[in-house]
Amino acid sequence: MPVLETKKLTKKYRKVTALDQLDLAVEAGMVFGMLGPNGSGKTTTLGLLLDVLKPTGGSYQWFGENPSAKSRKRIGAILENPCFYPFMTATQNLKVVATIKECAQSHIERVLRLVGLWERRDDPFKTYSLGMKQRLAIASALLSDPTVLILDEPTNGLDPMGIFDIRQLIREIAATGKTIMVASHLLDEVQKVCTHFMVLQRGKKLYQGSVDEALGDQRTIEVAAEDQELLGRHLGELRGVEKMVFEEGFYRITPDNGLGTGELNRFLFDRDMIASHLVEKRADLEQQFLKILADSGTVNE
């Protein structure tokens, strides 16, 4: 049973269809990325899923049940910039949150340690960097030990170090077994933290898949040797090749799943050939993403 399932989930504002018949299933343990340019409907989707917005069509279920206060309690989220009291410390702020959420104060130490703020717990919130503020927000969302964590553009506005820390933290939280949904307009963010993703464009889902597959599908190996002709003949006997072309001075092989540079190197070595060039290339998600947008005919809009 998926953690989240939506059926034709739709949100229309007067003129805009912010989300158009979204069908989606998110399984337990996924770090699910919602990737799309600004205005593509990411925040709207999260608002619907958190019951902050009412759908104009379709439905969704969390944990196989219709949305309820009970299911909502199993979801931790940071949607807008969360409000903390500037003159209060991290610990004091989380005590307030724990009281509001009716969760045990004993969780405070655990979440502060997890987000790396334990040492700074007694400093006032206003002395924190933006990255630390964001980490406190994540700590706050984790206080009730939710099954699902939802983050909307978690690294917006942060400096490179802050971005690195937050992404690392998301991976660490994922490793504790939580299901995470991350909305982002940044491709490399999705690439770095997510296991699965969908692409939204103008409220429509254009693509959904695993990050590994989107990367792995387009793996190519380039190989060259002194005697290109002999190399070509040997490569003709190589197994696990989906496609091979000769261009720009080397053979470019599109392997099926098994074949890697190690096997290829050994294959040539066994035939007394030394490769002068042997490189594996992964088309990154960016090219895939652009292709997805191009295929949908919306790339120039």
How many Cβ atoms from other residues are within 10 Å of residue 77's Cβ?
21
Instruction: Give the nearer residue to Mg ion in terms of CB position, either 153 or 263.
Output: 153
> What tokens were used for 242?
């989906």
Task: Give 47-50 contacts, CB < 8 A, sequence gap 24+.
Answer: 47/79, 48/9, 48/11, 48/19, 49/4, 49/6, 49/150, 49/181, 50/75, 50/77, 50/79, 50/150
The span from the CA of 169 to the CA of 122, in Å, is: 21
Instruction: Give the nearer residue to ligand ADP in terms of CB position, either 53 or 215.
Output: 53
The minimum distance between CB 46 and Mg ion, in angstroms, equals 8
The H or E element containing residue 42 is helix 42-49
Instruction: Give the nearer residue to ligand ADP in terms of CB position, either 208 or 265.
Output: 208
Which of Mg ion, ligand ADP, none lies near 36, with the C-beta cut-off 5 to 8 A by kind? ligand ADP
The DSSP bridge pattern shows strands 31-35 and 196-201 to be parallel
Which of ligand ADP, Mg ion, none lies near 124, with the C-beta cut-off 5 to 8 A by kind? none
Check residue 82 and report its DSSP letter: P
The minimum distance between CB 272 and ligand ADP, in angstroms, equals 57
The span from the CA of 263 to the CA of 255, in Å, is: 11
Residues 13-52 that bind ligand ADP (CB under 6 A): 13, 16, 18, 36, 38-44
The minimum distance between CB 20 and ligand ADP, in angstroms, equals 10
Residue the block writes with tokens 């969780």: 107
Determine the residue type at 48: L
Residues 144-203 that bind ligand ADP (CB under 6 A): none
Instruction: Give the nearer residue to Mg ion in terms of CB position, either 43 or 179.
Output: 43
Instruction: Give the nearer residue to Mg ion in terms of CB position, either 10 or 43.
Output: 43
The minimum distance between CB 174 and Mg ion, in angstroms, equals 21
Number of residues forming the site for ligand ADP (CB under 6 A): 11
Burial-class residue 165 by CB neighbours within 10 Å (0-12, 13-18, 19+).
buried
269 contacts ligand ADP (rule: CB under 6 A): no
Contact assessment for residue 53 and residue 19, using Cβ atoms and an 8 Å cutoff? no
Instruction: Give the nearer residue to ligand ADP in terms of CB position, either 41 or 76.
Output: 41
The minimum distance between CB 182 and ligand ADP, in angstroms, equals 12
The footprint of Mg ion (CB under 5 A) covers: 42-43
The minimum distance between CB 21 and ligand ADP, in angstroms, equals 15
The minimum distance between CB 163 and Mg ion, in angstroms, equals 17
Residues that bind ligand ADP (CB under 6 A): 13, 16, 18, 36, 38-44
